[in-house]
Every structure is written in structure tokens, then in C-alpha cells.
A and B are shown apart, each in its own frame.
Chain A
Amino acid sequence: DAGVTQSPTHLIKTRGQQVTLRCSPKSGHDTVSWYQQALGQGPQFIFQYYEEEERQRGNFPDRFSGHQFPNYSSELNVNALLLGDSALYLCASSLRRGGLGTDTQYFGPGTRLTVL
């Protein structure tokens, strides 16, 4: 049973560029959440996708956008990169509990983004 996978593992960009990160959820899961984790901090919720729509969003600017595909995989796009966007980006998949809250989220290995 494949777990959550993310690509690429590492990425180096310069300020102002755009980046796309990818995530494939665990088999059987239909919900994908994205988190940003700065060094020494806990993961910060960016947004969650279910049924190809953004369902929940954290306190992140519109430069952060996403997409979910019919096969439940997801992309995170960040435009106009800033130095402060350097972080580990984690994707977590889960099975939606139909309005009964968030079920167990399984995290992928993350993408380390460095903005120079």
C-alpha cells in the first residue's frame, strides 16, 4: 500500500519565480491538505482540497493556490516567491468523515523549498 508521495524532494528557486509542488494521496483517501513548516516550527495549514475544490484555507495570501485532480492527487502553486517562503511543504491525505471532522491525516515526506 503506497503511502503519501510528494515531488520534488528539494527545490531551489529565486525571488519572484513561481513553483509547483505535487502530492499523491494514500490509496483510498480523497482529501488532501497542504502545510508549510518553517524550521523549528509546527506545520501551518495552507488549505485543504476535497472533490476538486478548496474547502478550507488558512492565513496564507492568494499567491498560494492549489488544485485537486479527479484521481485525488493535488498541486500546490506559489507565485512571486519571497525569501520567507523557504520551508518544508508537507502534504497530508485523509478520508473525509462527511462533516464529522477531520480523520487521521497521513503526511508525505515533504518538499524542501529554498528561495534565494
Chain B
Amino acid sequence: QQPVQSPQAVILREGEDAVINCSSSKALYSVHWYRQKHGEAPVFLMILLKGGEQKGHEKISASFNEKKQQSSLYLTASQLSYSGTYFCGTESNEKLTFGTGTRLTIIP
């Protein structure tokens, strides 16, 4: 089943913060976060593994609540380059299932 992301869309002014949430009904091994700009491939942001291991970009932070099967991506001091659609991919049984995405628009 597809994870649910919220919000579906958000508009921020440059410098503001945002939180994007991802929730699954399945027990998860890991959560992967990607950003996709229009017409481009998804770009890896972060992976959060069961047990606490994380890998990703230094300027991106995220959390993973294994018990609640939820993850959140924190974008602070947003820049124009942060615009795009953010997808979470939840891993269960070595399969990644992506959510429907959160469209983030940053305005000057």
C-alpha cells in the first residue's frame, strides 16, 4: 500500500521552514526521501534505516519513528533551489513504495 504524504502542496517564502510527513500502514525497514524537479529524475536526499542509521545530505534532516511507521523531512531556511516535488519511499520486504508526493514551491 502506498504511503500517505502530507501536506500535498506547500508554498514558502525563501528562508522559511517546512516539514513533510510520510505515513505507512506497513512495518518498515527503511524510509527513503527524494526530490524531483519538473522533467528530471528523482534525486536522493536521505535514507533512514530501522535501528537509527541515517545517510544523506548534511543540510537535510529527517526522523523515522519505527513504531508509528512514520517519517518526517525537515527543510530549514529554505532556498529557491528546494522547490520541487518530494517523495518518500517506504521499504518493506526489500520493495520501495513511493508516496504521491508533496509539491514544494519557494517564492522570493
What residues of chain A have their CB less than 8 Å away from a CB belonging to chain B? 4, 33, 35, 41-45, 48, 55-56, 58, 90, 101-110
Ordered nearest first, which 7 A-B pairs have the shortest CB separation? Answer: A42-B98, A107-B41, A101-B29, A107-B42, A43-B98, A42-B87, A109-B41
Residue B49 at the chain A interface, CB threshold 8 Å: yes
Give the residues in chain A near B34, CB-CB below 8 Å: 107
Which residue of chain A has the shortest Cβ distance to B29 in the bound complex?
Answer: A101
Query: In chain B, residues 74-108, which have Cβ atoms closer than 8 Å to a Cβ of chain A?
Result: 87, 89, 91, 93-101
> A104, B41: Cβ atoms under 8 Å?
no
> B44, A104: Cβ atoms under 8 Å?
yes
CA of A104 to CA of B94, assembled, Å: 12
Bits for B54-69, please: 1 = Cβ < 8 Å to A, else 0. 0100000000000000
Give the residues in chain B near A43, CB-CB below 8 Å: 42, 87, 89, 98
SS class, residues of chain B in contact with chain A: strand
Which residue of chain A has the shortest Cβ distance to B47 in the bound complex?
Answer: A104
Residue B30 at the chain A interface, CB threshold 8 Å: yes
> A105, B44: Cβ atoms under 8 Å?
yes
Residue B43 at the chain A interface, CB threshold 8 Å: yes
> A101, B94: Cβ atoms under 8 Å?
yes
Partner of A42, one of B49, B50, B91, B99: B99
> A55, B98: Cβ atoms under 8 Å?
no
> A101, B43: Cβ atoms under 8 Å?
no
Give the residues in chain A near B93, CB-CB below 8 Å: 56
Would you give the shortest CB distance from B40 to chain A, in whole angstroms? 7
Would you give the shortest CB distance from A46 to chain B, in whole angstroms? 11
Residue B6 at the chain A interface, CB threshold 8 Å: no
Would you give the shortest CB distance from B82 to chain A, in whole angstroms? 18
Would you give the shortest CB distance from B95 to chain A, in whole angstroms? 5
